[in-house]
């Protein structure tokens, strides 16, 4: 494969290498502590040639991890390796960011579970991969779908795993170091969801910059505005979808879930208040609204009149964005996107 076509996704890379008769190993972050630069569930693929795709430490110890992965591919058993600033050898390898990371290295083979995971991602189907990294399930995998379908060696243990799988679907966050009732088995439950979505209500100038920032972060961007003068393809040809409609006509059809953030920025109550009402009745992880103190107070009164409680209204980040002190549309968009990311990781 040429460097210009090299996939940046570890699972896709492993599939591609297998198609070219190259063996590969999958490296997964199973434990972090302190300021580890990569989260639980982060993955990296390593080919027998030494090529790597993905990251498990943001660059700190990747070269050392590649060497460990090549040992596994040469016949060593799957292994857990920890790197931390307190380990002199790991410090020499480059982990100077002050945290600790533990990884699990598994020789990878293109079995039906991995093929199903690859297909689910192409089809944008949410799934949870269960990876055993300790005890009697070590090296075993299973794939669980939201509708209850499942496959893989761990599928037969659904009665033990179902509650954990359901929680992982609900939170859309990796759960790891889970010890099952036998007291010896540890698994990582890694959710694979479609890209995070940012739904923007109001095709104003601020939204132009907001779409640009969200695109850079890998979000699917959807802009909604019923006004033809604002919702034009010339202005939003960089958005994934542009819907010239009232929020109440299209927002329910999008089924906002925990992977959805909603930014309400039209500054027109005829658009914003119905959008707020719909957003508050949804499972959206983040709801933010642009507005002055006077506008905020007016909206709160209106939402109370509709029947929303104070606790429900508190879900709205109003005014939108972290307080970075910015004033231009681009600066406000940056503050809004920063708050959306913080909410995604439970920091806002």
For the 197-344 domain, the top CATH level (class) is alpha beta
Which residues face 201 on adjacent strands? Answer: 224, 264
Q: Please, is 35 exposed, middle or buried when counting C-beta atoms within 10 Å of its C-beta (0-12, 13-18, 19+)? A: exposed
Residue 5's pLDDT is 33
Question: What distance in Å separates the CA atoms of residue 258 and residue 297, rounded to the nearest whole number?
Answer: 27
Lowest mean pLDDT among 96-100, 233-237, 319-323, 335-339: 96-100
Does the pLDDT value for residue 94 go beyond 60?
A: no
In the predicted model, what is the mean pLDDT of residues 37-48?
Answer: 90
CA-based nearest residue to 85, from 74, 73, 97, 77: 97
- What's the pLDDT band for 97 if we cut at 50, 70, 90? low
Return the pLDDT at 98: 55
pLDDT band of residue 1 (cuts 50, 70, 90) is: very low
Residue 347 is predicted with a pLDDT of 86
Q: How confident is the model at residue 301 (pLDDT cuts 50, 70, 90)?
A: very high
Region at 162 (left for phi over 0; alpha for psi -120 to 50; beta for the rest): alpha
Segment 67-74 long-range contacts (CB within 8 Å, at least 24 positions apart): 68/105, 69/25, 69/27, 69/105, 70/25, 70/46, 72/25, 72/105, 72/106, 72/107, 73/23, 73/24, 73/25, 73/46, 73/48, 73/107
| Tens-place pLDDT, residues 163-175 | 999 999 988 889 8
H-helix or E-strand containing 209?
Answer: helix 205-216
Residue 320 is predicted with a pLDDT of 95
* Environment class of 296 (CB within 10 Å of its CB; exposed 0-12, middle 13-18, buried 19+): middle
108-131 pLDDT, tens per residue? 999 999 999 999 988 889 999 999
pTM of the model: 0.71
275: left (phi over 0), alpha (psi -120 to 50) or beta: alpha
State the pLDDT at residue 283: 92
202-258 per-position pLDDT tens digit: 999 999 999 999 999 989 999 999 999 999 999 999 999 999 999 999 999 999 988
pLDDT band at residue 274, thresholds of 50, 70 and 90? very high
Residue in 15, 11, 12 with CA at minimum distance from that of residue 27: 11
Categorize the per-residue pLDDT at 178 as very low, low, confident or very high, splitting at 50, 70 and 90: low
Residue range 266-293: mean pLDDT, rounded: 94
Q: 318 with 296: CB under 8 angstroms?
A: yes
User: What is the structure's pLDDT at 36?
Assistant: 67
Instruction: List all residues 6 or more positions away from 72 whose beta carbon is below 8 Å from its beta carbon.
Output: 25, 78, 79, 105, 106, 107
* Cα 343 from Cα 57, distance rounded (Å): 22
H/E element holding 61?
A: none
Q: Which of 102, 92, 121 is nearest to 36 (CA)?
A: 102
**Beta-carbon count within 10 A of 348 CB:** 15
What SS3 state is found at 41?
Answer: coil
pLDDT, tens only, 307-329:
999 999 999 998 999 999 999 99
Residue 177: predicted pLDDT: 61
d(CA 234, CA 242): 11
**Domain range annotation of the chain:** 3-108, 112-192, 197-344
């Amino acid at each position: 494969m040429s460097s210009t076509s090299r996939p940046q996704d570890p699972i896709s890379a492993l599939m591609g290498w297998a198609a070219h008769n190259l063996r590969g190993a999958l490296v997964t972050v199973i434990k972090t502590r302190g300021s580890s630069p990569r989260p639980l569930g982060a993955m990296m693929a390593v080919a027998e040639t030494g090529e790597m795709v993905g990251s498990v430490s943001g660059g700190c110890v990747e070269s050392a991890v590649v060497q460990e992965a090549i040992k596994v591919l040469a016949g060593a058993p799957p292994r857990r390796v920890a790197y931390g600033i307190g380990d002199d050898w790991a410090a020499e390898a480059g982990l100077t960011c002050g945290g600790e990371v533990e990884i699990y290295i598994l020789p990878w083979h293109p079995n039906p579970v991995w093929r199903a995971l690859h297909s689910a991602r192409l089809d944008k189907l949410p799934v949870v991969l269960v990876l055993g990294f300790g005890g009697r399930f070590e090296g075993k995998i299973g794939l669980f779908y939201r509708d209850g379908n499942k496959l893989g060696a761990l599928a037969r243990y659904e009665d033990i795993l179902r509650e954990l799988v359901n929680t992982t679907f609900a939170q859309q966050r990796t759960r790891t170091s889970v010890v099952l009732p036998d007291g010896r088995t540890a698994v990582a439950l890694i959710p694979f969801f479609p890209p995070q979505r940012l739904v923007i209500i109001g095709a104003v100038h601020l939204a132009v910059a907001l779409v640009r920032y969200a695109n850079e972060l890998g979000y699917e961007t959807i802009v909604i505005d019923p006004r033809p003068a604002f919702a034009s393809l010339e202005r939003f040809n960089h958005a994934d979808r542009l819907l010239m409609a009232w929020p109440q006509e299209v927002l329910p059809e999008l089924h906002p879930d925990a992977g959805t953030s909603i930014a309400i920025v039209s500054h027109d109550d005829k658009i914003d208040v119905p959008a707020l009402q719909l957003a508050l009745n949804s499972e959206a992880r983040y709801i933010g609204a642009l507005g002055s103190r006077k506008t905020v107070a007016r909206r709160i009164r209106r939402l109370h009149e509709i029947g929303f409680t104070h606790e429900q209204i508190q879900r709205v980040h109003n005014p939108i964005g972290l307080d970075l002190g910015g004033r231009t549309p681009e600066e406000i968009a940056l503050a809004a996107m920063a708050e959306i990311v913080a909410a995604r990781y439970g920091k806002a």
